[in-house]
Structure formats: C-alpha cells, structure tokens
C-alpha cells in the first residue's frame, strides 16, 4: 500500500472541488460537546485541504492545522490565507511538533483511519492540556440506501485499486472506544448529501485515492462503467450521494 501521507497528492484539485463538507448541526454539536470558545486552542490533525478547518475558522475559532501531504497542505494555505487565526504545520499525527500541554482540543476529520493508533494516542496525550478534548469526525458514504449507491459500491468493489483495504469503515466503534479509554466517548450522527451531474460524479470519484487515476491501466474501464451507471440511475441529470456524518467526542483517557 502506498505511503498514506502521500495518497492524495495527485488528487488535490478534485478533493477541493468535490469532497463533501460537514453539516452545520455536526459543527454545533462539536462546539457544545467540547465546550469550544474563541479562546480554545484547536489542533486539527490530518487537516487535508481544510474542509473542516474552514468551518471552524468561519466561527471565529483559532486552528493549528497539521498536514503531512504537501499538495493538500498548500491548497489549504491558499484557500484559508485570509484567516488570521489559521496556522499550518508540516507534521503528522504521530509527531505533531506541538509543545507539551499546549492545546485544548484535538480534532481529526476524515483522517483517523490513516493514523498509527498507539503512537498517535501517546502524542495526543502529550499535546493536550489536562482536561483537553478529542473529537473525531467522518462523512461515511452510505452504500445500500438506493439502487444507485448499491451499484456504485459494486463498481468500487470490482474495479477500485485497494478499496477494501483503505475503507475507513475498517475502524470500528470498538476501536474508537479503546482509543478514548478509559474515558467514555459520546457518539452523534447526522444526515448529509451531495448531488452531482456526470462531471461532478467523475470529479468526486477522482478525489478518492482508490479510484484508478488517469495513468492507471484500469482507468478507462472504470469510467466507462461509471458512465453506464450514471445513465441508468440519473434523474434530471443528477445522482445523489447520501452520507451519515458521525462525530465522536470526549476526554482522552
């Protein structure tokens, strides 16, 4: 499997344009559960192109964004340059470079499944202040709620490069409970959706590291089948991705 910190280097433009954001209700819950105020020091780990970062900054919060992938980090720096409460660091979850006991909240969105969990827990404990919070957030694309989503899942299973190996569903609630332990973890879920014409669907696919890139020998076959799938399922030129957005919050044990 490729180095996880570099998987999205050739997909940044698609990632910025086509990845889903997070529901406002999920951010409201994050703020209330972790007692966030404008004085809260936040470290976002695996911040990528800044999808969550932007939502936090727009609420007047300060974010230290930790991202090891250079193209993704630089995309966030360009997009968020106007926010004076934003800072960006080239570092990893396992070695953030932040001072001991320096942050009130560690948050990771769409990234936790890439981390070495033992090393990461040690690092998060080091950088969190006493009584500091941890929050984990995912948009989970639903796979069987509509005929289109079932067929799309079958396409990925058959033709994506390492889909099963990197699917974040490989991280279970039990894994997350063990990470927070011995402290309890709270879980909240929210609905989310994206709508695409064919161009948007293609872009959304290309934002995923397991979809064959243009230079891959399976690329042409994958996208021919994607066109057929879109033609079968589109209504008024659109198809829909449904998501379950899941937020885990708590103190780090």
Q: What is the spatial distance between Cα 130 and Cα 133, in angstroms, rounded to a whole number? A: 9
Q: What is the spatial distance between Cα 87 and Cα 3, in angstroms, rounded to a whole number? A: 25
Q: Does 124 fall in a domain?
A: yes
Number of independent structural domains in the chain: 1
At residue 96, the pLDDT reads 98
At residue 169, the pLDDT reads 55
In the block, residue with structure tokens 């509509």: 146
Q: Which parts of the chain have pLDDT scores under 50?
A: 1-9
pLDDT tens digits along 184-243: 999 999 999 999 999 999 999 988 888 988 888 888 999 999 999 999 999 999 999 999
At residue 167, the pLDDT reads 57
In the block, residue with structure tokens 């974040």: 168
Q: What share of the chain is helix, strand, coil (3-state, %, to 5)?
A: 40, 25, 35
Q: Does 232 fall in a domain?
A: no
| CATH code of the domain containing 20 | 3.40.50.150
Q: What is the spatial distance between Cα 146 and Cα 55, in angstroms, rounded to a whole number? A: 29
At residue 163, the pLDDT reads 76
Beta bridge partners of 42: 63, 105
pLDDT tens digits along 144-153: 999 999 999 9
Q: Do 250 and 185 meet the contact criterion of CB atoms below 8 Å apart? A: yes
Q: Do 108 and 114 meet the contact criterion of CB atoms below 8 Å apart? A: no
Structural domain harbouring 56: 4-142+167-193+243-251
Q: Does 28 fall in a domain?
A: yes
Q: Which one, of 213, 242, 236, lies nearest residue 152 by Cα? A: 242
Q: Do 34 and 135 meet the contact criterion of CB atoms below 8 Å apart? A: yes
Q: Do 206 and 227 meet the contact criterion of CB atoms below 8 Å apart? A: no
At residue 5, the pLDDT reads 47
At residue 161, the pLDDT reads 79
Q: Does 117 fall in a domain?
A: yes
At residue 3, the pLDDT reads 44
At residue 166, the pLDDT reads 58
């Amino acid at each position: 499997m490729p180095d996880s910190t570099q998987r999205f280097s050739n997909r940044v433009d698609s990632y910025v344009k086509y990845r889903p954001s997070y529901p406002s209700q999920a951010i409201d819950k994050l703020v209330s559960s972790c007692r966030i105020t404008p004085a809260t020091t936040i470290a976002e780990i695996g911040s990528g192109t800044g999808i969550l970062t932007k939502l936090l900054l727009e609420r007047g919060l300060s974010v230290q964004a930790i991202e090891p992938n250079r193209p993704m980090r630089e995309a966030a720096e360009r997009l968020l340059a106007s926010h004076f409460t934003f800072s960006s660091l080239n570092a990893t979850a396992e070695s953030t470079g932040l001072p001991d006991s320096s942050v009130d909240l560690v948050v990771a969105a769409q990234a936790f499944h890439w981390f070495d969990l033992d090393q990461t827990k040690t690092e998060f404990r080091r950088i969190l202040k006493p009584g500091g919070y941890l929050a984990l957030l995912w948009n989970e694309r639903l796979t069987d709620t509509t005929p289109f989503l079932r067929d799309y899942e079958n396409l990925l299973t058959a033709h994506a490069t390492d889909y099963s190996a990197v699917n974040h569903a490989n991280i279970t609630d039990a894994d997350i409970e063990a990470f927070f332990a011995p402290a309890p973890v709270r879980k909240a879920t929210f609905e989310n959706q994206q709508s695409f014409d064919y161009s948007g669907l293609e872009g959304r696919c290309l934002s995923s590291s397991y979809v064959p890139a243009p230079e891959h020998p399976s690329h042409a076959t994958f996208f021919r089948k994607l066109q057929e799938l879109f033609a079968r399922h589109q209504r008024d030129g659109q198809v829909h991705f449904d998501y379950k957005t899941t937020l885990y919050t708590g103190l780090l044990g």
